[in-house]
Amino acid sequence: MMTTKVAPFRLKPWFSERVWGKRDLRPWYVDTGTTEPVGEAWLTGPQCVVETGPFAGRTLASVAAELGGEFPLLVKLLFPAEKLSVQVHPDDAQAQVLGETRGKTECWYVLEAEPGAAVALGLKDRVSVGDVKAAIADGTLESLMEWVPVSVGDMIFVDAGTVHAIGPGVVLLETQQASDVTYRLFDYGRPRELHLEKGLQVIKPKTAAGKVAPKVMDGFTRLIEQKYFVVDRFDFGEVSEASVSFDGPGCLVGLGGRTAVSTSEGEVVLHPGQAVVVPKGASWVIVDTDTGMSFLRCVAPI
């Protein structure tokens, strides 16, 4: 997706109501447009509306189709007030067998974490798919999973096929393939559909999921580098101007401060909790601030 000669453009978040979400998303968002609990703010969803430039008022899906494809990354903020369902995602090959376009490999970057916050990431040793099926039936699936404490700044890789769940008390930034294929295995008695046949079919007892150690690079911190995405963090002081390179289509996600993002085609301001899409073909952008800033660069490798 995305040809050159297109200026970076900012997207309006799209808020997804979820039974496990929150009504108050401050300081990230003051108004979500609903009084219902919101679990996810989609920053680069296909239904997100462009706020700036010549594409203003159109959806990202519409713009991407005009420019030759689709945006390859789905970036979200997650706001769980309760436990999410226990779920699993297929890899690309499994998804296509099941009639889906692609699988869902993802990662979570911890932005906020209360004491004791944890996520479930994979199955304990020697737990089989048959054990999972029996534990779903008797309500003991949580006891078969590896629960991992999390703190602010942790990056967690969630490999396709990993049985996983997210506990309350965190705010996560999720970067994933452009797919929302989710098979719900267990939902704590909530009256929502389960997907046991497909879910059990794609479980992998062992995966590459786990915490990822950050790497200090030249001017930024590499949080994760995988087949489908690379996520880096940039932090600048009060007066800074810097070049940020792009080796594929991607976006910048604001975490704090006011950031001006510009190329030769134009400039846009990046706000915390929003994404600015950087078109493919723009090999770099200039970022500028007079207040200090922090942001993530999320790129789909070419």
- Residue 21 sits at φ, ψ, to 5 deg, of -90, -165
CB 38 within 8 A of CB 18: yes
Angle ∠(22,26,32) on CA atoms, nearest 5: 65
The active-site residue out of 184, 190, 192, 222 is 184
Kind of pairing between the strands at 155-158 and 38-42:
unpaired
CB 163 within 8 A of CB 206: no
End-to-end C-alpha distance for the chain, whole angstroms: 11
Which is nearest to 226 in space by CA: 103, 58, 65, 131? 103
- Residue 137 sits at φ, ψ, to 5 deg, of -65, -35
Q: Alpha carbon 275 to chain centroid distance?
A: 12
Query: Rounded distance, CA 34 to CA 25, Å?
Result: 12
What lies within 8 Å, CB to CB, of 85 at 6+ separation is 165, 184, 185, 186, 187, 188, 190, 192
Angle ∠(36,42,44) on CA atoms, nearest 5: 160
How many helices (DSSP H) and strands (DSSP E) are in the chain?
4, 24
Whether 26 is catalytic is no
- Radius of gyration (C-alpha) of the chain in whole angstroms: 19
**Catalytic positions:** 184
